[in-house]
Amino acid sequence: MPTSLASLLLAVGLSAFMGVRSLRHRSLSRSGALAAGLVGLSTFSNPHLLTSVVLLTFFVSSSKLTKYQGTRKQALDAHFTEGGQRDVWQVLSNGLTGSVLSFLAMATSRVHPRATLTLMYVAHYAACNGDTWASELGTLHPHWPRLITTGSSVPPGTNGGISTTGLAASLAGGAVVGLAAALAHLLQSGYYALLSTTAPVQFPADLTALSLVGVGAAAGLGGSLLDSILGALLQCSYVTADGKVSNRRQRAEDKLVTGRDVLTNNQVNFLSSLSIALITGVLTFEGRTD
């Protein structure tokens, strides 16, 4: 079987796995599962193993954490959905930038491979994973979070609220993505070096395990902080009469805690992860001419 055909079939198989698994575990809606399949297909088609492993790491870990302590989250969030099902827009807000970067890295890999595009890709998903880990594990913090813009205490679930537990979780979430990327890169490059076989993709010479883990950790923390800043300033957070947090006023007695009604949560996620990817590109571009 030709290598290109085998790679395509593998990409289709992995994409189908993502879609079916997410539906079975109710982590995605039908539209979300379809979008995840398309994001997966565009990513798994990249012969660089790193791209597939990074996406799967984000997909599996975020899906698991979304279900963690569901009862506690239901008591805090007025918009809580059983199983944390994500729709098409939520999937695209986290996956569209990654798909574009994966395609660009694949398109340029044989002609002029650069570490920058790969690092941007890792930074994007590290930011997404860090923010997810912070949101899901930040609820474990024993005290109310602090609003990132003023330092005042706010109810758990408030847009822009941060805690040491949440920040540590964001750093860990990003580092996990970076570590997964580093292991995948070392495994694939070592495999072809051992066999003295031409790899289907050229690896940038300056793409190192240390740079991948470092970028992942920094992007995880940075993405969560940027998401919090945007959320505090450009998203509304209301506290309902029963103590839950809502991003829109449902009753006249609901109290505005912070923010303005400018961006949705999906838009904040998209902009923060895109910004982290672009910042990574700017910081890593200079001097990389391989």
pLDDT digits (tens, 9 = 90+) for 125-141: 999 999 999 998 988 88
Question: At 241, is the pLDDT very low, low, confident or very high (cuts 50, 70, 90)?
Answer: confident
What's the pLDDT score for residue 131?
95
Question: At 274, is the pLDDT very low, low, confident or very high (cuts 50, 70, 90)?
Answer: very high
Q: CA-CA distance, 93 to 244, in Å (whole number)? A: 25
**Can you name the residues that pair with 269 across neighbouring β-strands?**
none
**Can you name the residues that pair with 256 across neighbouring β-strands?**
238
Residue 287 has pLDDT above 60, yes or no: no
Question: At 72, is the pLDDT very low, low, confident or very high (cuts 50, 70, 90)?
Answer: low
What's the pLDDT score for residue 66?
74
Residue 54 has pLDDT above 70, yes or no: yes
Residue 214 has pLDDT above 80, yes or no: yes
**What single letter denotes the amino acid at residue 274?**
L
Provide the percentage of residues in the chain whose pLDDT is more than 90. 46
Q: CA-CA distance, 106 to 95, in Å (whole number)? A: 16
**R_g of the chain computed on alpha carbons:** 20
Q: CA-CA distance, 183 to 210, in Å (whole number)? A: 11
| 18-42 tens-digit pLDDT | 778 777 777 778 888 888 888 988 8
Asked if residue 123 lies in contact with residue 226, where contact means CB atoms within 8 angstroms, the answer is no
Q: CA-CA distance, 266 to 269, in Å (whole number)? A: 5
Q: Does residue 43 or residue 217 have the better pLDDT?
A: 217
Mean pLDDT of 261-289: 88
Identity of the highest mean pLDDT range in 2-11, 46-55, 56-65, 169-178: 169-178
Mean pLDDT of 171-190: 94
Residue 80 has pLDDT above 50, yes or no: no
What's the pLDDT score for residue 3?
45
pTM for the model stands at 0.88
Mean pLDDT of 170-199: 86
Show Cβ contacts of residue 46 under 8 Å, excluding neighbours closer than 6 positions: 52, 102, 103, 105, 106, 201
Residue 69 has pLDDT above 80, yes or no: no
